[in-house]
Amino acid sequence: MNIIYRSFVYDFLYLLAGTAIKRINPCKIHAADTGQIICVNSHPCCSGCQYISDTGCTVKCLGCKLGLCSTAGNEHANLQKRLCRMKYVATCYHLRRIRTAKVYVMDDLKREQGVKIGGYSNYRIGIILYPELLLQTIE
Ligand code: SF4
Ligand code: SF4
């Protein structure tokens, strides 16, 4: 159950962040006249990642979805603030890893199941405390 709930949180945040980013398009990634792929920060942060392809990211990665560089973030302060709230929730659930496909994050969490945090199991913390935080990520 714990892992199913965390998987739901992962997908939920990914969808929220992805929808907001798609609507605002803060990075404005495009091909320059030279053919080089550029963004508002000149150098897209996906460069060099094993998961990048000609058509973009090939995996579901929440950690990357929640991160904006300061150039894009300063231009879109409201989006940045909202992503920060989502980042906080993702961190609470141990879901925030960049350049890592969801399947690997989940595999690691399955191994960690049963670990206690402050005397409470991950399961109880997830079910009792965090839904309220999750709701705050919705605009
Ligand atoms: S977050 Fe910044 S560096 Fe990364 S793609 Fe967007 S604008 Fe470029
Ligand atoms: S995993 Fe992250 S850094 Fe890699 S291509 Fe996807 S979004 Fe970019």
Share of the chain above pLDDT 90, in %: 67
Give residue 139 CA to ligand 2 midpoint distance, Å.
25
Q: Where exactly are the structural domains of the chain?
A: 3-25+59-135
Q: What is the structure's pLDDT at 112? A: 76
Whether pLDDT at 132 is above 70: no
- Taking CA atoms, 56 is separated from 34, 46, 48, 137, in Å, by 19, 9, 12, 26
Does 49 sit in the ligand 2 pocket, CB within 6 Å?
yes
Cβ neighbour number for residue 109 with a 10 Å cutoff: 19
Whether pLDDT at 122 is above 90: no
Give residue 127 CA to ligand 1 midpoint distance, Å.
34
- Please give the Cα distance from 3 to 77 (Å, whole number): 33
List pLDDT tens digits, range 9-50: 999 999 999 999 999 999 999 999 998 999 999 889 999 999
